[in-house]
């Protein structure tokens, strides 16, 4: 899919321009050089998932924390599958740049937080050895929701064939649960010291979910008692809330970085100015002084996480599905181009989201929602609607369905959130309002298509068929006649009038 395409290929970069690396840093403007240099800081962290988000978020915080407060907290970045990012970062001595894009300006800086790069698919043993290395005291993850292989509804492990094989045979592990299990078994055998495993993915209660995954994987693999006992005594699972909008890199991202740096950076990424990290402070082997870089260390990240998943990601998904259906390429264009959409989102935030949970002390959900809408409107961030629309089956539960369930439990009608579900259902049928094909990029695409094939095609039929996906919709929600009726009403309006017609005047 285009969002995962190779930006370097289409811009003709590479050529004769020097590549970013330790040997060319002197060509980079002084105020764009890294705060620390790979090789100057010993490794203390392993990070799984070398995508754009990690590089623009945790890597930036960690580099700044090490530059300010010291510590052996270099990051060894592990790409589970993507060999391109491994080659590029290896060729660039682990260096990459982050461009911060506001409507008015772009600022590019090279980040030196990574001290090593590994490719799990071709060298899983190296990753297992790292996880068992006493120097490594923190493991962070940004592997996307689906890599955890947890049932989005129950949070229970639902191993596919690959995970099951990783957990029950001694073949080289190929999956994230498999790598973690093997690493922890090796670490326990070596009694290599305590470790914090930190999920930085947009899962609900991500710390608890990761703990559940590890606990279930240990049981599934039938590890010896000594190992099963070592893990809970030595490993913690701090919850986190992570936030920064970082779209997939494009040819434009690489061209902007080259213009700013004077050298070519094939691992360049760009993100918005806003960034936030709330972390539960439970690190038995120590941690970088992330607070010096602006992170908030807390005893309970739960309220922050709900605020972000429901008040930002849920709204993001709403714009992604409605915007893609209305023919808009980016989130900012959809927000500006669909009349009535901002008003609908404001009502969703005020009437559904804000009333569905208790926010962190002193935070107004409505004000938070306003700041989110402002961030989404940043025209310099070309975040594609179809990128955010991806993996809807894994995202809808924590972003929208938990809001719906909490409002229903209080006896209310979360009408605006039902619109988001209807928009996903229409999006899943694969056609925009003008008939253009839309990609269904989702681990449950097969089940979704099978359900739709049996639906009869009417709005009521589609709603009934898709509500039957037990991996997405909890049975109580699927059986709730008011929920069904609200979604059907919206889907009927979307089918008949398209997004623009359905939203015009809807929010008063």
Q: Does residue number 388 form part of the binding site for ligand CS2 (CB under 6 A)?
A: yes
Alpha helix positions (H), 454-480: 459-467, 475-478
Residues 6+ apart with CB under 8 A from 398: 152, 202, 203, 204, 309, 310, 313
DSSP string, 358-383: PPSTT--HHHHHHHHHHHHT-TT---
Of 253 and 387, CB closest to ligand CS2: 387
Q: Does residue number 54 form part of the binding site for ligand CS2 (CB under 6 A)?
A: no
Which segment (238-246, 339-347, 438-446, 463-471) binds ligand CS2 by CB under 6 A?
238-246
Which segment (58-66, 243-251, 363-371, 466-474) binds ligand CS2 by CB under 6 A?
243-251
**Any idea what DSSP says for residue 434?**
T
Question: Which position among 202, 250, 298, 403 is part of the footprint of ligand CS2 (CB under 6 A)?
Answer: 202
Of 79 and 241, CB closest to ligand CS2: 241
Q: Does residue number 334 form part of the binding site for ligand CS2 (CB under 6 A)?
A: no
Q: Does residue number 313 form part of the binding site for ligand CS2 (CB under 6 A)?
A: yes
CA 148 – CA 151 distance, rounded (Å): 9
Tokens encoding 329: 């390429």
- CA-CA-CA-CA dihedral for 178, 182, 184, 187, to nearest 10: -160
CB of 191 to ligand CS2, least distance (A): 37
Question: Which position among 93, 166, 216, 243 is part of the footprint of ligand CS2 (CB under 6 A)?
Answer: 243
CA 300 – CA 138 distance, rounded (Å): 19
CA 133 – CA 191 distance, rounded (Å): 10
> Rounded to the nearest 5 degrees, what angle is found at the Cα of 319, between the Cα atoms of 377 and 413?
125
DSSP string, 117-143: EEETTT-HHHHHHHHT-TT--EEEE--
**In 10 A of CB 17, how many CB atoms?**
14
Of 145 and 433, CB closest to ligand CS2: 145
Which segment (5-13, 74-82, 241-249, 404-412) binds ligand CS2 by CB under 6 A?
241-249
Size of the site for ligand CS2 (CB under 6 A): 9
CB of 320 to ligand CS2, least distance (A): 7
Of 202 and 236, CB closest to ligand CS2: 202
Of 202 and 403, CB closest to ligand CS2: 202
Q: Is 326 exposed, middle or buried (0-12, 13-18, 19+ CB in 10 A)?
A: buried
Which segment (8-16, 60-68, 220-228, 240-248) binds ligand CS2 by CB under 6 A?
240-248
**Any idea what DSSP says for residue 262?**
S
Q: Does residue number 149 form part of the binding site for ligand CS2 (CB under 6 A)?
A: no
Question: Which position among 245, 269, 345, 466 is part of the footprint of ligand CS2 (CB under 6 A)?
Answer: 245
Q: Does residue number 256 form part of the binding site for ligand CS2 (CB under 6 A)?
A: no
Residues 108-127 contacting ligand CS2, CB under 6 A: none
Q: Does residue number 316 form part of the binding site for ligand CS2 (CB under 6 A)?
A: yes
Residue at token pair 């409507």: 103
Binding site for ligand CS2 (CB under 6 A): 202, 243-245, 313, 316, 387-388, 395
């Amino acid at each position: 899919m285009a969002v995962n395409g190779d930006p370097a290929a289409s811009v003709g970069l590479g050529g004769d321009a020097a590549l970013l690396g330790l040997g060319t840093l002197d060509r980079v403007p002084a105020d764009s050089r890294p705060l620390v240099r790979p090789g100057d800081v010993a490794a203390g962290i392993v990070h799984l998932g070398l995508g754009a988000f990690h590089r623009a978020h945790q890597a930036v915080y960690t580099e700044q924390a090490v530059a300010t407060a010291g510590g052996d907290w270099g990051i060894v970045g592990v790409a589970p599958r993507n060999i391109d990012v491994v080659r590029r970062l290896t060729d660039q001595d682990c260096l990459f740049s982050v461009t911060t894009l506001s409507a008015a300006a772009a600022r590019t800086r090279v980040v030196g937080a990574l001290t090593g790069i590994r490719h799990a698919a071709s060298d899983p043993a190296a990753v297992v050895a790292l996880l068992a290395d006493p120097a490594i005291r923190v493991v962070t993850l940004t592997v996307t929701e689906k890599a955890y292989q947890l049932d989005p509804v129950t949070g229970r492990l639902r191993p596919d064939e690959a995970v099951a094989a990783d957990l029950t045979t001694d073949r080289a592990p190929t999956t994230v649960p498999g790598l973690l299990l093997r690493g922890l078994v090796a670490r326990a055998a070596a009694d290599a010291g305590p470790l914090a495993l930190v999920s930085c993915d947009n899962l609900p209660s991500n710390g608890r979910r990761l703990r559940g995954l590890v606990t279930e994987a240990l049981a599934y693999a039938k590890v010896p008692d000594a190992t099963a006992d070592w893990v809970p005594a030595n490993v913690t699972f701090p919850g986190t809330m992570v936030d920064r909008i970082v779209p997939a890199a494009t040819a434009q991202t690489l061209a902007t970085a080259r213009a700013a740096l004077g050298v070519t950076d094939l691992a360049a990424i760009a993100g918005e100015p806003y960034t936030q990290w709330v972390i539960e402070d439970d690190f038995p082997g120590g941690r970088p002084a992330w607070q010096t870089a602006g992170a908030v260390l807390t005893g309970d990240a739960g309220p922050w996480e709900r605020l972000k998943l429901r008040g930002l990601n849920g709204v993001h998904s709403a714009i992604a599905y409605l915007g893609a259906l209305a023919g808009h390429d980016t989130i900012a264009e959809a927000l500006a181009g669909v009349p009535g959409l901002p008003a609908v989102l404001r009502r969703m935030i005020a009437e559904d989201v804000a009333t569905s949970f208790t926010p962190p002390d002193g935070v107004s959900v409505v004000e938070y929602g306003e700041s989110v809408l402002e961030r989404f409107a940043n025209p310099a961030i070309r975040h594609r609607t179809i990128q955010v629309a991806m993996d809807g089956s894994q995202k809808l539960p924590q972003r929208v369905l938990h809001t719906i369930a909490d409002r229903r439990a209080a006896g209310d009608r979360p009408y605006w959130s039902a619109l988001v579900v209807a928009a996903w259902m229409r999006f899943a049928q694969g056609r925009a309002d003008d008939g253009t094909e839309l990609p269904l990029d989702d681990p449950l695409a097969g089940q979704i298509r099978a359900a739709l094939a049996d639906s009869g095609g009417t709005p009521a039929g589609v709603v009934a068929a898709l509500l039957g996906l037990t991996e997405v919709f909890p049975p109580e929600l699927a059986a709730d006649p008011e929920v069904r009726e609200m979604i059907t009403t919206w889907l009927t309006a979307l089918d008949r009038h398209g997004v623009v017609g359905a939203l015009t005047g809807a929010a008063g």
